[in-house]
Chains A and B, each alone.
Chain A
Amino acid sequence: MSPVQHMRTPMRRVRGLGTARSGTGQFWQQRITSVAGIPLTIGLLLIITALLGRSHAAVVQILGSPIVAIIVLLFTINTAYHMWIGMQEIILDYVHDEKWKLLSLMANTFFVFAVSLASIYAILKLSFGV
Chain B
Amino acid sequence: MAEFEAGMPTEGPRARPLSPHLQIYKPTLTMVMSIVHRITGAALYFGMLLLAWWLIAAASGPNAYSNVEWFMSSLIGQLVLFGYTWALLHHMLGGVRHLIWDTIHGLEPVERELLTLATLIGSITLTLILWVVGYLVMGGPR
Contact = CB atoms under 8 A, between A and B. Distances in A.
Contacts of B8: none
Interface in B45-81: 45, 48-49, 51-52, 55-56, 58-59, 61-62, 65-66
A95 interface: no
B61 A79 contact: no
B58 A49 contact: no
Contacts of A59: 58, 65
A46 B62 CA distance: 23
Contacts of A109: none
B55 A37 contact: no
B142 interface: yes
Given A31-B99, A37-B92, A54-B142, A118 B45 contact: no
Interface string B31-55: 0000000100110110011011001
A24 to B, nearest CB: 12
B29 interface: no
Contact of A115 (B48, B59, B65): B48
Interface string B5-45: 00000000000000000000000000000000010011011
Given A50-B137, A55-B142, A118-B52, A34 B99 contact: yes
A79 B48 contact: yes
A86 interface: yes
Contacts, number: 84
A126 B137 contact: no
Task: Give the secondary structure class of A's interface.
Answer: helix
B130 interface: yes
B132 to A, nearest CB: 11
Contacts of B52: 115-116, 118-119, 122
B102 interface: yes
**Centre residue among B42, B52, B85, B134 by max chain A CB count within 10 A:** B52
A38 B65 contact: no
A74 interface: no
A34 B130 contact: no
A118 B56 contact: yes
B138 interface: yes
Nearest first, the 8 closest Cβ-Cβ pairs linking A and B are A122-B55, A122-B59, A53-B138, A125-B59, A56-B62, A56-B65, A119-B52, A122-B56
Interface of A: 31, 34-35, 37-38, 41, 45, 49-50, 52-60, 63, 72, 76, 79, 83, 86-87, 90, 111, 115-116, 118-119, 121-123, 125-126
